Amino acid sequence: MKKITPAELAQQYEHIAAVCRINDAKLTRPGCFIRTFGCQQNEADSERYAGLAESMGYEIVDAPEKASLILINTCAVREHAEMRAMSITGQFKHLKAANPDLIIGMCGCMVSQEHRLNQIKGGFPYIDFLLGAGMMHRLPELVHSRMNKDKRSFLLDEPEGCLAEGLPVRRESDIKAWVSIMYGCNNFCTYCVVPHVRGRERSRARADILAEVKELIADGCREITLLGQNVNSYGKDLGSEYDFADLVSEICELDGDFILRFMTSHPKDASQKLIDAMASHEKCARQFHLPLQSGSARVLTAMNRRYTPESYLSTVEALRAAMPDIAISSDIIVGFPGETDEEFAETLAMLERVRFDMVYSFIYSPRALTPAASMDGQISAEVKSARMNALLNCQNAISLERNLAAVGSVQRVLLEGASKSDESMLTGRADSNKLVHIPRAGADALVGRFVDVRITRAETFALFGELAD
């Protein structure tokens, strides 16, 4: 792993100052539009891109038409996300034709794939630069160079990966924040492109994470979510004894009114030590995201997940023994190559057995560079989609049942703001991470605070209630 040195960062700050001088000389402050695809890690990265853009004198705007700098932060986990990013990018072509000074950059996971690089280099001449996710600290250099009409730049990730501290950040919310604790992945699940595009695992130093968390708490942030592809292996690459459970404990012991969440935990590494640390700290959310992927032992082996349905169930039992009220969510892939009807039925049986609160389900999407893409037994689109429907039917009933069980209880909820679908309601998250809606009338002043809500009604994806006395 290559840690970006203060001298390297200082170089970027010189580019920031230079771009700022150019932007400050303009009559109006130029805009930067950022479109983000994919996971929470990408959202967190976009907050850094926005921070860098602001420090270069751009104002973050909500429409590409208002922008002098457009960044498309892409996702490569499934083909659909890549197609959407390519199609959005295509729509920006006419903006460039109308304004040749417009700078358009693509960043994130998709661009670190050789075949995309070639496609964009050759077929998308209006894209000014490509920037791999691990290279984000070099955004100022790339913007500056295009302002000077230098050649287009293509800065892809290096496999061992980089780690840059101290980049500016513009957070979307004052109430909740992402804190990346590590980048990259060493697991090489056979379906997954992430290790190929995000490089090897690299953990941030404990002191850097704690400093960021303390600052957030001091600023009044109430929900902190630690991010990593496999948070359970935090620290292993640092060669220290201090592990993820220690980090969770240390953060929960900080003063302040906040709740701590984290994702994602790989089932093979979820330790009793972590479960005990969660159970002994009330500030740790009673929520655990534990991606199962498949209920079949054979498919799990073919996926290189390195756990069995039995060991997975033991982890679930240990979580529930330590925290009976814990909400457990999962990721499932349907239609992995070679998955038989019987093996898919084993996945459904696991859903029935575990009774997850929530499941994010995905149709298997073959990804370049991954072994599963060339495995025998690729499943037809029809079968995949029929399995997806069966899975949704099964899980939606379970999610509803789990949510109905909450009716009548009082839940602590962090109120986040007006509901997106109904202006007369406020929305928040319970400790379990379930979405909770309450009537807005008279409650606006409580946004950003923890309130007690009596649950009166439940749907598959949300709870409804009113402020408890």
Which residue ranges make up the site for ligand SAH (CB under 6 A)?
Answer: 77-78, 191-192, 194, 229-230, 264, 266, 291, 293, 331, 333, 362, 364-365, 367
Complex with ligand SAH: residue 47 or 269, whichever CB lies closer = 269
Per-residue tokens: 167: 């980049």
Q: Are strands 450-458 and 463-467 parallel, antiparallel or unpaired?
A: antiparallel
Shortest Cβ 468–ligand SF4 spacing (Å): 39
- CB of residue 192 to ligand SAH, shortest distance in Å: 4
Nearer to ligand SAH, 68 or 233 (CB): 233
Residue 460 burial class via C-beta count within 10 angstroms: exposed 0-12, middle 13-18, buried 19 and up: middle
Q: How far is the CB of 203 from ligand SAH (least distance, A)?
A: 15
DSSP reduced 3-state for 467: strand
Minimum Å gap between C-beta 191 and ligand SF4 is 7
Residue 319 interacts with which of ligand SAH, ligand SF4, none, CB < 5 to 8 Å by class: none
Q: What letter would DSSP give residue 63?
A: S
300 or 438: CB nearest ligand SF4: 300
Q: Which does 333 bind (CB under 5 to 8 A by kind): ligand SF4, ligand SAH, none?
A: ligand SAH
- For the bound state, the minimum distance from the C-beta of residue 372 to ligand SF4, rounded and expressed in Å, comes to 11
Q: Is 222 exposed, middle or buried (0-12, 13-18, 19+ CB in 10 A)?
A: buried
* Interface residues toward ligand SF4, by CB under 6 A: 185, 187-189, 192, 194-195, 229-230, 266
Nearest to ligand SAH of 194, 248 (CB atom):
194
**Residue 54 binds: one of ligand SAH, ligand SF4, none (C-beta under 5 to 8 A by kind):** none
Nearer to ligand SF4, 185 or 285 (CB): 185
Residue 138 interacts, among ligand SF4, ligand SAH, none and using kind-specific CB cut-offs from 5 to 8 Å, with none
Q: Element (H or E) spanning 142, and its range?
A: helix 139-147
Give 12 or 230: the residue with its C-beta nearer to ligand SF4.
230
Picking from 423, 369, 426, 391, the residue whose alpha carbon sits closest to that of residue 112 is 369
38 touches 166 (CB < 8 A): no
Residue 191 Cβ vs ligand SAH, minimum distance, rounded to whole Å: 4
Query: Please, which residues have CB within 8 angstroms of residue 200's CB and are 6 or more apart in sequence?
Result: 1, 159, 160, 161, 184, 185, 186, 237
Strand order through the sheet with 176-180: 176-180, 223-227, 259-263
Q: Which residues of 438-459 are buried (b: 16+ CB within 10 A; e: fewer)?
A: bebeebeebbbebbebebeebe
Could you say which of ligand SAH, ligand SF4, none residue 188 binds, taking C-beta under 5 to 8 angstroms by partner kind? Answer: ligand SF4
Given a contact cutoff of 8 angstroms between Cβ atoms, the answer to whether 73 and 108 are in contact is: yes
Closer residue to ligand SAH (CB): 292 or 438: 292
The nearest distance, CB 218 to ligand SAH, in angstroms, is 30
Question: Closest CB to ligand SAH among 133 and 194?
Answer: 194
What's the rounded Cα separation, in Å, for the pair 222 and 50?
22
Q: Which CB, 266 or 437, lies closer to ligand SF4? A: 266
Min dist CB 119 to ligand SF4, Å, is 23
In the chain, the amino acid numbered 294 is: S
Of 324, 325, 330, 327, nearest to 312 by C-alpha is: 330
Under 8 Å between Cβ of 275 and 263:
no
Strand partners, 195: none
CB of 220 vs ligand SF4, minimal distance in Å: 32
DSSP letter for 112, please: G
Compare residues 129 and 364 and give the one whose CB is closer to ligand SAH. Answer: 364
Beta carbon of residue 269, minimum distance to ligand SF4 (angstroms, whole number) = 10
Q: Which residues contact 83 (CB under 8 A, 6 or more apart)?
A: none
Closer to ligand SAH by CB, 78 or 434: give it. 78
Pick from ligand SF4, ligand SAH, none: which does 195 bind, CB < 5 to 8 A by kind? ligand SF4
| Among ligand SF4, ligand SAH, none, partner that 458 touches (CB below 5 to 8 angstroms by kind) | none
Q: What angle do CA 134, 292, 188 make, to 5 degrees?
A: 40
- We find the least distance from the C-beta atom of residue 192 to ligand SF4, in angstroms, to be 3
CA dist., res. 200 & res. 93, Å (int):
34
